[in-house]
Amino acid sequence: MLADNTKVQRWLCRNCGYRFTDPNHKRLPTQWKNHPFSLNPENSLDYKCQGNNEPCGRDSTALGRAVQTLATVEKENEKQAAGATALSFNHYPEAIAKVVEYSLWLLKNGYSKATIEGRVKLLKRLLKLGADLFDPDSVKQTISKQEFWSDGRKELAVEAYSSFLLMIGGKWDPPKYRRTQKLPFIPTEEELDQLIASCGKKTATFLQLLKETGMRAGEAWNLKWTDLDLINLNVRVTPEKGSNPRILRISHKLAAMLNSLPKKSQLIFGGYPIRGFARQYARQRRRAAEKLGNPRLLQITFHTFRHWKATMEYYKTKDILYVMRLLGHKNIKNTLIYTQLVDFKREDDYICKVATTNEEIAQLIEAGFEYVCEHNGAKFFRKPK
């Protein structure tokens, strides 16, 4: 019974696979919305499948017999707008079941939650685009027709389907897609600070943590209170994506921000999925960009803070191995990209300070200044602007 008191058949047609419910149901695949059924005016519960004009309804005899297949209606060469061969009604439920089985298979084989979610999402997207997961040529054609997909996304789709075929024992000749390497966007420190100041308390603390440590968003999101050492001002990072574990320094300012957060669970930032938090951040970022009139802020993602930190550390130290350890990389090739991002400032653009007491020296070192030389008992320090 629908909201308008209309009675709708709920039986499943065994041959055509169509579940008789609201024809405008948004979760139906595109090619099922135009299922050729008609309502018998003599009985609102008696639907007819026009494949042979026999009822697919609740009559037990009709249900036992079902109806003739709609193969004559859904032709083999019917294609969706994406250009892929339409998935048959019979294969769709089986494909969905296999995708669920695939997610469990990935979990059993030790894949991370993020990897499982990404691959399952891609396979479901291919299904909605009309691909038949049991036909590699159909999948290959569907991927090739996606004009608005980047080569990187297509490469991920190929990887996901290749592992799916491995599970079901299938084989294919995968297409070759190579993502285009791009240099990351590096904002100014002033833009990062403006964005942090424009966000709420929890989001601002999270962003400040990313800025000071350069850790991944997932690593920061999974931090526990036991990982935080407010006495020695450091945080212990449990790595993800095969990185190395590490202990990173934090400032007094960040320590105070973290300590002010409510301690409702073992996790510092809460135990719900990070996707919801990322959407909340996107809304705050959009408001900040509109308020400050700076559209560059819209390009700042969680991972941008990691790029910025790595770039600035290499600019200060010129030590690629130090940056590699800071980021937790196991392969130096992943770190070398930041050597290309250090020319955005002049080499002579420095702030210079002079210290004569131990307290002044300590303050300058804590502020990021590096020692240059000593003259007449005074020590000179500098830091890039």
pLDDT of the residue at 145: 92
Least confident stretch, 7-16, 89-98, 171-180, 268-277: 7-16
Cα 126 from Cα 138, distance rounded (Å): 10
Residue 277 CA from chain centroid, whole number: 12
Q: Residues 222, 295: one domain?
A: yes
Q: Residues 272, 230: one domain?
A: yes
pLDDT of the residue at 75: 42
Tell me the average pLDDT across 338-348: 62
Asked if residue 226 is part of any domain, the answer here is yes
* Three-class SS of the chain: CCCCCCCCCCCECCCCCCECCCCCCCCCCHHHCCCCEEECCCCCCCEEECCCCEECCCCHHHHHHCCCCCCCCCCCCCECCCCCECCCCCHHHHHHHHHHHHHHHHHHCCCCHHHHHHHHHHHHHHHHCCCCCCCHHHHHHHHHCCCCCCHHHHHHHHHHHHHHHHHHCCCCCCCCCCCCCCCCCCCCHHHHHHHHHHCCHHHHHHHHHHHHHCCCHHHHHCCEHHHEECCCCEEEECCCCCCCCEEEECCHHHHHHHHCCCCCCCECCCCCCHHHHHHHHHHHHHHHHHHHCCHHHHHCCHHHHHHHHHHHHHHHHCCHHHHHHHHCCCCHHHCHHHHHCCCCCCCCCEEEEEECCHHHHHHHHHCCCEEEEEECCEEEEEEEC
- Give yes or no for residue 14 having a pLDDT over 70: no
Least confident stretch, 1-5, 118-122, 329-333: 1-5
Write down which residue in 168, 200, 215 finishes a domain.
Answer: 168
Tell me the average pLDDT across 209-213: 96
pLDDT of the residue at 36: 42
Confidence class for position 342, pLDDT limits 50, 70, 90? low
List phi, psi (to 5°) of 263.
-105, 80
Q: Residues 332, 362: one domain?
A: no
Q: Residues 217, 266: one domain?
A: yes
Q: Residues 327, 211: one domain?
A: yes
Asked if residue 272 is part of any domain, the answer here is yes
CA-CA-CA-CA torsion sign (23, 24, 30, 36): positive
Asked if residue 81 is part of any domain, the answer here is no
Confidence class for position 109, pLDDT limits 50, 70, 90? very high
The residue with greater pLDDT, 72 or 112, is: 112
Q: What is the CATH number for 319?
A: 1.10.443.10
Q: Residues 314, 361: one domain?
A: no
Asked if residue 116 is part of any domain, the answer here is yes
pLDDT of the residue at 40: 39
Tell me the average pLDDT across 96-115: 91
% of the chain with per-residue pLDDT over 70: 74
Cα 161 from Cα 152, distance rounded (Å): 14
List phi, psi (to 5°) of 348.
-100, 15
Asked if residue 41 is part of any domain, the answer here is no
Residue 184 CA from chain centroid, whole number: 17
Asked if residue 101 is part of any domain, the answer here is yes
Dig out the tokens for 182 from the structure: 């791009």
Q: What is the CATH number for 114?
A: 1.10.150
- Give yes or no for residue 121 having a pLDDT over 90: yes
Cα 320 from Cα 15, distance rounded (Å): 63
Tell me the average pLDDT across 171-196: 91
Asked if residue 75 is part of any domain, the answer here is no
Least confident stretch, 52-56, 108-112, 208-212: 52-56
In one letter, which amino acid is 272? Y
Tell me the average pLDDT across 324-343: 83
Which range has highest mean pLDDT (166-170, 358-362, 372-376)?
A: 166-170
Angle value at C-alpha 206, between 204 and 211, nearest 5 degrees: 90
- Give yes or no for residue 348 having a pLDDT over 70: no
User: For 15-70, what is each residue's pLDDT tens digit?
Assistant: 555 555 545 544 444 444 444 443 333 333 334 444 444 444 434 333 333 333 33
Which range has highest mean pLDDT (51-65, 194-208, 330-344)?
A: 194-208
Average pLDDT, the chain: 79
Confidence class for position 71, pLDDT limits 50, 70, 90? very low
Q: Residues 123, 155: one domain?
A: yes
Q: Residues 251, 159: one domain?
A: no
First-residue to last-residue Cα distance in the chain: 68
Least confident stretch, 25-29, 140-144, 281-285: 25-29
Tell me the average pLDDT across 210-218: 94
pLDDT of the residue at 45: 38
Q: Are 18 and 35 in contact (CB under 8 A)?
A: yes
The residue with greater pLDDT, 44 or 170, is: 170
Q: Residues 203, 324: one domain?
A: yes
Query: How would you label 243-280 residue by residue, b for 16+ Cβ within 10 Å and e otherwise?
Result: beebebebeeebbebbeeeeeeeeebbeeeebeebeee
Q: Residues 258, 289: one domain?
A: yes
Q: Residues 252, 318: one domain?
A: yes
Asked if residue 59 is part of any domain, the answer here is no
The residue with greater pLDDT, 78 or 69, is: 78
Cα 382 from Cα 359, distance rounded (Å): 17
Pairing mode, if any, of strands 350-355 and 378-384?
A: antiparallel
98 is in which domain, residue-wise?
Answer: 91-168
Tell me the average pLDDT across 115-130: 92
Q: How many domains does the chain have?
A: 3
Cα 62 from Cα 157, distance rounded (Å): 42
Q: Residues 289, 374: one domain?
A: no
Least confident stretch, 51-60, 143-152, 157-166, 274-283: 51-60
Tell me the average pLDDT across 331-341: 82
